[in-house]
Structure 1
């Protein structure tokens, strides 16, 4: 499915973007938001509803007018609150893939994809060639004469992607495009989107509240909270080394353990917790021995033993949840409940006495707050 009809690789930058809704004090969708979007990369904006991620996307697209700030594509301002610059959406040369697909029901697949080319100077033959190339690229070859209602949800989303890309935009904006699909199809479409990007890298901004989508598709993940950036980094950094309680909770770490710093050697800090001594990596450099702190502990990095010989801390299973290939046991340790994930066959019955200890060699995240 190779094609030359992929977007140009443009860099985008957003500086000091602010947007308020209503007259209530502090009702800011964006609060002095600043971020660069490197050319050729996929930047994922991750956060809960109301965090401002969609407002960022729609401001870049020109569908929302910010109150202040600057948006530039390849150095050219498309919005500047200071100079009152505001380039219309259709002149920003950006493609957009919507959550709802937004396909014209009376047009065929080919006509939907060709729609952005209607105002171009291309001949009919050139337009047909571009559309056919795009159909092949998104895996819909031979389906150009079908109508949207004759396609599956995944196929409709591919039409939406083809329409966004056919005009050779400078970047593609994705507004939670997979949220309407069922779980199995969503997983398949994630992998297909990833494969398309690997074939022909393009600049993209992807909005989602799904941490798995963020980790799978992003070159960089930006966790947002209340119109601001909470943390930014590679998917691995954000997943393994969250900086704050909010980031840790949002990327799926249920165990936030209070502890005391036992030793400090550069960035590596040993913290004594209810599950034992944990080797941690912190962002701050001013930790001192004896300081109180919080460690984010993934359920997969703690293990359960049935006997005390391994040296674990004693606890009792409160609840066990079967999850297919794994099970999650909720264990009470000195009054604190810890979630521990194990293989399904290692599931423990409620009331079982167990011993808990960290996985050898595991490195845990020491939070800033």
Structure 2
């Protein structure tokens, strides 16, 4: 193996990165500097410094990135309406570029000659991390142990950890692969690997309850937006991070945002996972409700097409690309008048619209009413239909002449 003197490791304290510290020292004899990003995962950061140092790291950086994550990654994606394959709200996807960029900055400051991550060779995260590293440190060496070591499974990793006295919070029976941040919590592996198995929600849910265990009465919440950005919950102004945490609390209590998904990974295979995104589900729904009031038809429909591409870019780790930046510029221009309030009813896993208002609403009761009005001449529709249907009429006349 190429030898390195100082390696910066993307460190979560989970199974993969916990065993990587002793593995790096064993195989490279290098100094290992661990970097953990606080993107709102809460108690998962507890005890990380002691654990990292005990297992061989020379130091641990804990970078507090929750506000940047919410403002510069989550909100732009919500404004875009980007959803991967109709279900996935991109919780892991858009956290990785932010984390990787900060790791590059630390690696440069520390004079490191390599960056290491714990992503598997089967997953999407390896791409997300490495594309960002290439964008900001194109000549930096990258170590991906899963692509080169002899450990072939999470079971092997647990055995390695036990042999090297690496403390773990999981057991062989609770060995789900998880990723948690302020936006979501994902669960993969074990019984979830078989799509035929119903998820054991009582066993795995952490951000909320199942719809069956949600209250038998609805909860109401009002979300305020200014130019597409959520600014308040029930009239209380909040920064995006606090607003997301508040909606997580409300959504989780009402069984909102649980998604069982078989998705197409970037590397070609399908994977199955359960995602918890309570606040995000509320926020997407609220934003969509407001846009339906404030965007004209052509802009809305074209933006829906853009949302598909935006979701692919985020999912594929292409955040720091000219195209994603250009699409964000387009999205921002569409949000100029997306301002107003959206009232929602939360009930047993469902988010239900309960009224939307905006000073920039394009909805006109006077025009749309079924009652008598003086602004719409219904006779005008006859000429419109004749012109709109002219291609169909001409084609039908042609077919009639052909006897078909």
**Shared fold per TM-score greater than 0.5:** no
Q: TM-score, normalised by structure 1?
A: 0.24
Q: TM-score, normalised by structure 2?
A: 0.23
Higher helix share: 2
